Amino acid sequence: MTPAASFCERALETLGLTSYSSRAYATLARLPQATAPDLADATRVPRQRIYDVLGSLIDQGLVAKTPGKPAAYRAVDPASAAEALIRGHRDSLARLEVVASDLVAELRTDWLTARSGLRPAAARSRDELGVVARMDHWREYAHHSVRATARPPFDGLADEDWVRRVRAITASGGSVRCVYHADLLSDPRLVARAESFAAAGEQARVTSAVETRMILTDSERALLTLPSADPAPDSAPGPVLLVDDAHTVARLQETFDHLWARATPFTSAA
């Protein structure tokens, strides 16, 4: 690896790409074009992962596919690629700003009251405020529709109660959809667990573009994991926010639908 390539890959990872995606784009940018097998050989990205990596780069607007047999891939202009990555961060920040605004609107009156020395008219617990929750609360709220995103460490896949709830919802005519982060495919045990959810009736897709854990129930409320204060990759997830503002939930639903449309069906990806 040349010093220039090393810097480019580090910069791309800083902008949000995985190590495989960073390596693939940086290498492809220095070539007119390349087939997937040739790029896998040049980058040492496993051949079973290179198509997922290229699919993710295409979804993010960083790579274009040239029709043919075999198909070839070419990198877009680095200026356009950098802008696409920055735009993704702006979109994520905009979603968090909406959630943070609702959080402030919900809590600030009680915060000021607590510091005024006055008792609030009606005492409410933190859960009743609709602010702090647990991810497994979705089972209490979901009756006919669940839309979820999952990323490492995929805690929910180990919960048999979640599987039973998925089965109950789908058996009664409801629908459950989940978009998993592509890291799922690197662990056969996780794949097997995801298959048990699929057997219970869950529809699943896979993409590397999953940025946070989120569960939308009945298009009425959302459970959203906020970023952890610890930046380490293996750190525990951040706090879970319960959102029931109709406008915010609608925005999160649109975000999920967009992610779902770009993701790969789990059955073919696995």
Final residue in a domain of this structure, among 50, 76, 102: 76
DSSP per-residue codes, 242-262: EE--HHHHHHHHHHHHHHHHH
* pLDDT tens column, 145-178: 899 998 888 877 877 888 888 998 899 899 999 9
| 55 and 129 inside one domain | no
The model's pTM is 0.50
Is a pLDDT exceeding 50 seen at residue 16?
yes
CATH of the domain at 61: 1.10.10.10
| 56 and 176 inside one domain | no
Is a pLDDT exceeding 70 seen at residue 253?
yes
| 256 and 126 inside one domain | yes
CA distance 144 to 172: 8
CATH of the domain at 143: 3.30.870.10
Mean pLDDT of the chain: 81
| 29 and 98 inside one domain | no
| 236 and 120 inside one domain | yes
pLDDT of amino acid 264: 93
Is a pLDDT exceeding 50 seen at residue 130?
no
CA distance 5 to 243: 43
**Is 83 domain-assigned?**
no
First to last CA, the chain: 31
pLDDT of amino acid 118: 40
**Is 82 domain-assigned?**
no
Is a pLDDT exceeding 70 seen at residue 21?
yes
**Is 81 domain-assigned?**
no
Number of domains in the chain: 2
| 47 and 100 inside one domain | no
Surface-to-core class of residue 201, CB atoms within 10 Å of its CB (0-12 exposed, 13-18 middle, 19+ buried): middle
What average pLDDT does this structure show over 35-55?
A: 93
**Is 110 domain-assigned?**
yes
- The proportion of the chain whose per-residue pLDDT surpasses 90, expressed as a percent, equals 39
CA distance 13 to 141: 37
| 178 and 202 inside one domain | yes
**Is 215 domain-assigned?**
yes
Least-confidence region, from 102-116, 121-135, 193-207: 121-135
| 260 and 126 inside one domain | yes
| 177 and 217 inside one domain | yes
**Is 224 domain-assigned?**
yes
Task: Say if CB 205 and CB 180 are below 8 A apart.
Answer: yes
pLDDT of amino acid 252: 86
**Is 214 domain-assigned?**
yes
Final residue in a domain of this structure, among 76, 98, 124: 76
* pLDDT tens column, 192-246: 999 999 999 999 999 998 888 888 988 888 888 776 555 555 555 667 777 877 8
Final residue in a domain of this structure, among 21, 48, 76: 76
pLDDT of amino acid 113: 53
**Is 84 domain-assigned?**
no
Is a pLDDT exceeding 50 seen at residue 127?
no
| 59 and 151 inside one domain | no
What average pLDDT does this structure show over 119-142?
A: 51
pLDDT of amino acid 239: 74
- The proportion of the chain whose per-residue pLDDT surpasses 70, expressed as a percent, equals 80
| 125 and 236 inside one domain | yes
| 138 and 248 inside one domain | yes
For residue 228, how many other CB atoms are within 10 A of its CB? 12
Q: 36: domain range?
A: 3-76
Residue with the bigger pLDDT between 61 and 141: it is 61
